[in-house]
Chain A
């Protein structure tokens, strides 16, 4: 791994990353009047949203909550199908291949659209050429947590402690090659630690090892860590957002703790490139309107997801920003499959 390019990418490119998404999330809170349900269906047939992960996961929950609301807005049935496998890549391959006569969307995320095409030699799709961004759904944050037995209460103390105990500098992440993995690398770099990043098979085994004291530090999504933090089983020392989060105001940001790092992730809908532009627009407008609906927003927040309302043009912009910030980080990490 090349040290200095990563650090540069980290500090230059990522300072301020995520601020844009966060501001959109904030804007989504200012409710506009929702479009009334139209009488005639806006689509020629049922709409299918393909999710690359198991039911009940964040991506699936977002798609299903949205589907419920879209059904009334579009006037057609909206189905959610789970096509699991290869970290979501199989779902992208499936959606890429559908014809122009089918109404199929992909529930996409940074793993599918940004990281996988960079680290794998052949993912079987081109994130830019094969898909049209439709609309954002949600954003999510990352956090750094320590097990209850780790004798530190602040992020800066953690860094000092890890420097004093270099053999303990193991950062657990929910999956190898995930955004938390790269974020953990960046944190280690920026803090000047020789940290090992250890990939788990999901947040559950990582939390188990963190609680049992098998690993001292975890970098994971905030929603998977916060219930255990609130119960006092582990301690979140910092979040990766650009400002303190309204849903967790007591948690300091990394910026406050002296590291100029900001990162977040998103869930968004994508259409296959074959879908006619007019149809993409119809769906995009319906999704944006749905995401502005306070009732739906409340449902998202109740399951610890932050709704984001953005037009298709705004979505394209947000995705481009995200890509330009993360691509150098992923590339300079030297990580390849």
Chain B
């Protein structure tokens, strides 16, 4: 594709995206996305599922622009609750809680929110540009990623999650394995056998991620707060300093933003766990590159900038398989494919040629939407931060309420609300004994993907495990995992791992 084509295509796209109608729906989508991202528990899947029937009445381009806006808007909003109240609404914002919430506790919520918004904007712009410039070839590249490569990537992801933890290595491993075990619950993808479901229908699809995350993070955090003296609870509101980051903070964050954007753009192409891995990978990279890794987990700005940029870049590039091939890479994209079909547009490689207005209009609107989001979000930082001054007795019941609504709306299941409560108690217990919930959640998310791809790769290779080192990409990923593991374990073995003493 020549440069001229990109420009004329983008011109066509902006012609569509800048019409008042497109702008309106883009704004509605971005606002709605921010809102549901901020509300704990209610994610883009639920929202888009609920709104889908309404979009049947809209023109297709407007409908898709709005739905896309909800999705990436949610990535912006999701960081807000993660930072302010330590509550990740989506798997991709789990890591943001690590340093983002610590920053908020130190009164630097404004810094964290602004860097998250600006980082997301940079990442969103880059991701959009990537879709426009190289969508189809990138989709082809992502397909070269077979089951063996996926398995090795998941292994790397799990090893990386040990790096992220700042407590005892042994406890991190324990949590990862516990997460893997929770991930085993549900239907065996190969044989269809039920595992640990005890005849409960809801469990046949596995434990709900939202119920687990809301329990381990949201409810457990509230229990922990209730446990402490009352003076601790209002700590958040009292120490808030500047709302706007100083230039030095931005300078510190910029390299992390760029690295996160790059990692996120690549990993976002991979269906399934791509977007989740992106934020985890970005955090690991930042922690490993930092001169003083001990700052991580205690409010390091790079720990917010990297993962937030990564998850937003991944959110953008995860559109590539859907837009160029009609193959959805996650649940949100699957809903959007459904929306296209209902609109009479057959998702597939021919959308680009048959409906260039729709394709390029959507791509251009994503850039417009990202700009809108940063304009919406920056002035709102003050408002979000002042939310922390809301008295504890009002805010936390509200959070619990939203968590319950969010968990319930996902599958209209009361059992999942009960499960969230149980995980809350469990999370509280884990916290008391110094176990971190993040490796658990990562094990839970990556475990099933890892198992599925391990078994598939082995079946394709007629049961020969050599396949994991025979395929070059897989071998490289495994090698990185081994090196990373050695780096992590060496200091622990020598009893020099700095954080061990902090415990």
Binding site for B on A (CB under 8 A): 54-57, 60-61, 64, 80-87, 89-90, 93, 119-120, 122, 124, 167, 170, 176-177, 196, 198-202, 204-205, 207-209, 211-215, 227-228, 230-231, 233, 302-304, 335-337
Contact = CB atoms under 8 A, between A and B. Distances in A.
26 contacts: A54-B331, A54-B334, A56-B338, A56-B339, A61-B341, A80-B53, A86-B204, A87-B187, A122-B199, A124-B201, A198-B456, A199-B189, A199-B192, A201-B452, A204-B327, A204-B334, A207-B325, A208-B143, A209-B143, A209-B146, A212-B144, A227-B350, A228-B326, A231-B350, A336-B193, A337-B193
Interface in B146-193: 146-147, 187-193
Most buried by B among A87, A120, A200, A211: A211
B202 A170 contact: no
A190 B440 CA distance: 46
Nearest to B148: A214
Given A57-B338, A82-B49, A89 B460 contact: no
A76 B349 CA distance: 41
Closest 5 CB pairs of A and B: A56-B338, A212-B143, A227-B348, A231-B349, A86-B204
B252 interface: no
A224 to B, nearest CB: 9
A93 B460 CA distance: 37
Given A61-B338, A196-B459, A227-B326, 8 more contacts: A55-B338, A61-B341, A87-B204, A199-B192, A204-B328, A205-B271, A208-B271, A228-B348
A40 to B, nearest CB: 27
B118 interface: no
Given A55-B338, A86-B202, A199-B189, A231 B146 contact: no
Given A204-B271, A230-B348, A177 B192 contact: yes
Given A54-B49, A208-B327, A227 B347 contact: yes
B272 interface: yes
A90 B452 CA distance: 24
A176 B191 contact: yes
Contact of A54 (B147, B338, B413, B456): B338
Interface in B323-350: 325-329, 331, 334-339, 341-342, 344, 346-350
B411 A85 contact: yes
Nearest to A216: B460
Nearest to B321: A208
A64 B321 contact: no
B227 interface: no
A90 B412 CA distance: 11
Nearest to A89: B201
A309 B146 CA distance: 43
B452 to A, nearest CB: 7
A85 B201 contact: yes
Contacts of B272: 205
B462 interface: yes
B7 interface: no
Given A64-B53, A82-B49, A227-B350, A89 B204 contact: yes
B342 A64 contact: yes
B138 to A, nearest CB: 13
Nearest to A205: B271
B146 A55 contact: no
Contacts of A211: 143, 325, 327
Contacts of A209: 143, 146-147
A201 B350 contact: no
A233 B49 CA distance: 29
A303 B346 CA distance: 8
B341 A303 contact: yes
A175 to B, nearest CB: 8
Given A61-B341, A82-B49, A208-B271, A337 B146 contact: no
B196 interface: no
A178 to B, nearest CB: 9
A85 B190 contact: no
A85 B200 CA distance: 11
Interface in B303-335: 321, 325-329, 331, 334-335
Nearest to A299: B344
A119 B349 contact: no
A169 B143 CA distance: 20
Contacts of A227: 326, 346-350
Contacts of A208: 142-143, 271, 321, 327
A110 to B, nearest CB: 15
Contacts of A205: 271-272
Interface in B218-262: none
B498 interface: no
A183 B375 CA distance: 54
B413 A85 contact: yes
Contact of B192 (A122, A176, A212): A176
